[in-house]
Every structure is written in C-alpha cells, then in structure tokens.
Amino acid sequence: MQECVRHLLILCVFCTLLVCVCRGACAEVDSDTEAVAGQGFTLGCISCKMRGEVEATATVDWLFRARGEADFVHIYTYDGSSENIIDERFLDRLEWHGSRNTLDLQDASVDITNVTFNDSGVFRCVFNRVLIYEHYEFSKVTSKDVHLTVVAKATRGTASIVSEVMMYVSIIGLQLWLLVEMIYCYRKIAAAGEEALRASAAEYLAIASESKDNCAGVQVAE
C-alpha cells in the first residue's frame, strides 16, 4: 500500500514540476525559417538570462543580409520603450513582438508584414545586455541568426512533423504509465482487502472455536 502511494506521489510531483517549468522558465526556441510571400511572419529571437536574480537591462538590434549580398545592414533597434526602423525597405513592415513593459529584454521577436521574396536572406538579432551587480556592471553581447526562405506556398517542415509526433508519443506514454500505476495500485488494494477479510474470518473462527471449547468444559465440570 505504501509503495503504491509513493508511486502516485512521484507521478504528481513530476507533473507539477513539468507545469511549473513550462510556465515560469525561459526557453530559447528557434525561429521558424520559412515565410509565405504576401503574408505576415514572426522572426523569433530569444536570449535567456542565465542568472534570473541579477538585474539587467538590454537593447536589441536587428541586422539583415539579403540573399546574394556580402554584408549585414542595420535595419531595426529597440531599447525597451521605443523602436526605430532604420532601413527603408522595412518601413511600416516591422513591429516589435517580444518582451514588453520591461528593460530586461529576453524575447526580441519582431513581426514582418507583407513578406516579399526580397526578404529572403539572413536576419541577425543582437542583444546588448548589461548585468547590474552591487558594485559593478557587466556587458554581454549575444547574437542569433535566422536564415529566412520566402516561398509562394506554405509547406510543412520535417522538424514540425517530428516535433508533433514526439509530443503525442510523450502524452500517450504518460497516460499509459498512469493507467499501469492505477491498475497496480488497485490490485494491491484489492489484495490487501482480501487478506484482511481472510484474517478477520480466521480470527472469528478461532474465537468461535475457543468459545465452543469453553462451553464444553463448563458442561463437563457440572
């Protein structure tokens, strides 16, 4: 019985931790890399701060190198409160989609509206982060590249299919594990109940037999 309860408690703790991690932790998820011409697209860029208890500020710059070009061009900047589109090719087409109401930026995603084939190339987001300690400040620069391909019609990537399959396999596996634990616990409880009933029956028979013997002894003595 105790082993059964322990297994269920472990399962509950595992599920609770999983939920907490999903809700509270920063996860550096890679951006999608395929956009459809004429539609909107989100350039994803997340840089998690390694020590959450340290105060920090950050600014973000986006650079772009078009397909066939050799150098990156500065196209966009965001400082936590205001944004500035620098390259005229992206005027009225870029919009901040990342962290809001904070100077400690960790999500620097931006939206592109009305994607064109000329947007194919490499987008680079650069975090300029300052970690604020009690007696000094530490500057750190982190950059990430998004290799964007613009297509006429959406296609589903292999990575997306594999991720979805793995998600369903994990869910089914967890449900099967829970079902096995429930069956195991039910059998343990049922077996313990039957053993208790047998013990009670044996105890009742022993008491009845002892009472019968006592009664017989009393009659002989009379």
One pLDDT digit (tens) per residue for the chain, 222 residues: 545 545 555 555 555 544 444 434 678 888 888 999 999 999 999 998 877 778 999 999 999 999 989 999 999 999 988 999 999 999 999 999 999 889 999 999 999 999 999 999 999 999 999 999 889 999 999 999 999 999 998 776 555 666 777 788 888 988 888 888 888 887 877 777 777 667 776 676 666 566 555 555 545 455
pLDDT on residue 9: 53
Of 25, 56, 52, 55, the C-alpha closest to 129 is: 56
Q: Please give the Cα distance from 32 to 27 (Å, whole number).
A: 15
Q: Would you state the structure tokens that stand for residue 14, as one six-digit string?
A: 């595992």
Strand partners, 125: 62, 144
Distances (CA, A) of 46 to 52, 95, 179: 15, 16, 38
Give the side-chain half-sphere CA count within 13 A for 89.
13
Degrees, nearest 5: CA angle 34-71-122: 10
Please give the pLDDT value at position 155. 72
Looking at residue 178, its pLDDT comes to 85
CA angle 168, 174, 180 (to 5 degrees): 135
In this structure, what token pair is assigned to residue 167? 């998600």
pTM for the whole thing?
0.60
What pLDDT score does 6 carry?
55
Question: In whole angstroms, how far apart are CA 73 and each of 90, 193, 212?
Answer: 12, 75, 103
153 CB-near residues (< 8 Å, 6+ apart): 36
What pLDDT does 110 receive?
95
> Please, are residues 18 and 171 in contact by the beta-carbon 8 Å criterion?
no
Residues 6+ apart with CB under 8 A from 11: 177, 178, 181
CA distance 80 to 96: 10
Q: Is 8 left (phi over 0), alpha (psi -120 to 50) or beta?
A: alpha
